[in-house]
Amino acid sequence: MADPGFDMAACVRRVGDGDQDAAQALVVHTRALVLKLVRAHRAATHSDDDLLQEVYLTMFARLHRYEARAQVPFEHWLARLAVNVCRDALRAERSRPRLQSLSPAAADQLAALQDGARRPADDAEAAREAVDALLGRLAPDDRLVLTLLDLEQRSVAEISALTGWSRPLVKVRAIRARLRLRALVGREPRP
């Protein structure tokens, strides 16, 4: 994503001055980062494109709040904003209950998790479906911390930078989210 010839700070300043070409260049140079975050944290009721558009609308509306500092590059500010937009979408989704039926293979994966003794079949797609279904039943902050920490293998420091939470808070939320997830696995009805 990083283009060595692209001056991000100058581009952001030009966007702040109303330069439309700079705004387009900013979107082009940050799209891969934002799309990766949107795909990792997308609410089921939103498409990638819808959330991508929402992130950029929010970015342009709040760009005046960004202060260029050596320890906070623009990409980090934008990543944090993208995660927050996705988290807001997850919260909105959570307030609207939805029914989700699992495929037979995903239901088998879930049953294997519940049994503990039985090993699930090696079906990555079904496992992902079961994980998505379980994560979808968690609160948005629980889902976010588990996705970042366990699925994306991000460090506590990275999660702290993306979410604005302190490092101890990230650790505590992860512990509590894992406990809630274990409780969900135990409560899931058997297929």
Contact 154, 173 (CB under 8 A): no
pTM here?
0.55
**What is the spatial distance between Cα 33 and Cα 36, in angstroms, rounded to a whole number?**
5
Query: Could you tell me the CATH number of the domain that includes residue 173?
Result: 1.10.10.10
Could you say which residues of the chain have pLDDT below 50? Answer: 1, 96-99, 188-191
What pLDDT was estimated at residue 153? 92
Q: Choose the final residue of a domain: 77, 98, 119.
A: 98
Q: Which domain holds residue 112?
A: 101-191
Q: Are residues 42 and 75 in the same domain?
A: yes
Choose among 5, 6, 18: nearest CA to 63.
18
Q: Are residues 137 and 162 in the same domain?
A: yes
Q: Are residues 7 and 37 in the same domain?
A: yes
Model confidence over 75-85: pLDDT tens digits?
999 999 999 98
What pLDDT was estimated at residue 106? 75
Q: Are residues 89 and 143 in the same domain?
A: no
Q: Are residues 115 and 83 in the same domain?
A: no
Q: Are residues 89 and 64 in the same domain?
A: yes
What residue has token string 């952001």? Answer: 12
Counted domains in the chain: 2
